[in-house]
Structures are given as structure tokens and as C-alpha cells.
Amino acid sequence: MEVLVNRYPKATWRPGPEWKTWGATNAGAGAILHSMEGYEAGAWGVLDSMSQASWHFSVMRDGRVFQHYDLNESCWHAGGKASNERLLGIEHEGRTGEPFTEAQIGASVALVRWIAAEQGWTPERGVTLLEHREAPGANTTCPNGRVPWERYKEDDVQIRQLDQAESIAALNKAAEVHGKAINDNNGFTVVEVVQGSPVPLAPGQRAYLFVTN
């Protein structure tokens, strides 16, 4: 049975040559985002060639994600040994002047957040998330302004304070299991979580926070 080491569940496994990795284990300190400066067929040509170029993930314009190496492996993508042994490489299909598609943005953001959770780091621009051109030893302009960094920020929690009638209705809903009726705010301030709910919500469900006064 094949042992999977940090394989992204939403990615198609498309391995690169085994010899195209450093000997050292990757430290898992963050990720470098790249622009492929080309398209899928060309990327596979580079990955499978004898050139010293390899990376962990490819994110296509239609949102497909391919994984080429496990997270503990160090690839040749950053331009310097230290960066290659600390950071993962994520290539993005397309060329200079082509913005990421919405499907590509969604897939890339989800991938980055999964990697961060797997490796235990917080996505932070310039610290754990770099452009290729920012890596020590890199001599490149990659990714050439293509990365919409504002989309990689963690979702902020947004709340809306309920008025008295809405508060009573929400409190009554919460109290149904106790068979009690509530006729006033009962010492609570009630807010609705309109973005960034701490629990997954099904369609039609709402999340409330009940704050004691």
C-alpha cells in the first residue's frame, strides 16, 4: 500500500521525477507563489525535463490543482538552497498580463490555507507567503504582478447587532430545547455572525452570539 505524505485531498497526484528534489527535508515554513509563464503542456515539459526546475503544486486557470511532490520534500523552485529547503513552490498557469481567473484564485487560496493548517503556520504576506522575486538569491520578476494578494487574507468575522425583537426571537429559538419562552433580552446582547462563522452553516441557517451584559 502506498503511504501518502501530506497529499492535498483536492489535488490530482501528478508526480515529478524523483531526482528533482534536494536531499534535505523541507522545513515547512511557508510557500512561494509563482507564475508559470505558460500553460499546462509546457509546464509538464519543464517538470519532466532534465532542467533543475521542480515545484510542489500547479494551479490551473480552470481551478484544477496538481500535486507533484509531498510537503516534506524540497524542490528546485526558489533560486536558493535555503529557500528551497524552507518553502513550498506553487505554480499558477498563465502569463504576464493575465490575471488569475476566479476559479484559479479560489483553488489557490484554498490550497494555501490547507498547507498552512497542515504545517502549522499562519498565512502572512511577506513572512510565510512570498513571491518568487522576493526569495533570497532569486533573479527573476516572477510572478510579474499576477497574484491578487488581497484575496489571500484570512476572512474577518463580521457581526450585526440585532434589535430587541430580533434578539428575543433568536433567544427563543435557542431556548426551545428548554421549553422556555423569553419576553425580553434577558440580560443578553445578541449579534448575528454575517461572515466568518466559527461553525459550518447549512443553507438557511444563521449563527448568533449571545453576549452577557
| Interval 2-33: pLDDT, tens | 444 689 999 999 999 999 998 889 999 999 99
Task: Tell me the Cα Rg of the chain.
Answer: 23
| Interval 130-188: pLDDT, tens | 999 999 888 999 999 999 998 888 654 455 666 777 777 766 676 664 455 555 555 55
**Beta carbons of 22 and 81 less than 8 angstroms apart:** yes
Predicted confidence (pLDDT) at residue 201 exceeds the cutoff of 70 = no
How much is the pTM? 0.72
**Beta carbons of 15 and 68 less than 8 angstroms apart:** yes
DSSP symbol at 155:
P
| CATH number 3.30.1490.20 is the correct assignment for the domain at 12-152 | no
DSSP symbol at 53:
-
Domain boundaries, the chain: 12-152, 158-212
Q: Mean pLDDT score of the chain, rounded to an integer?
A: 83
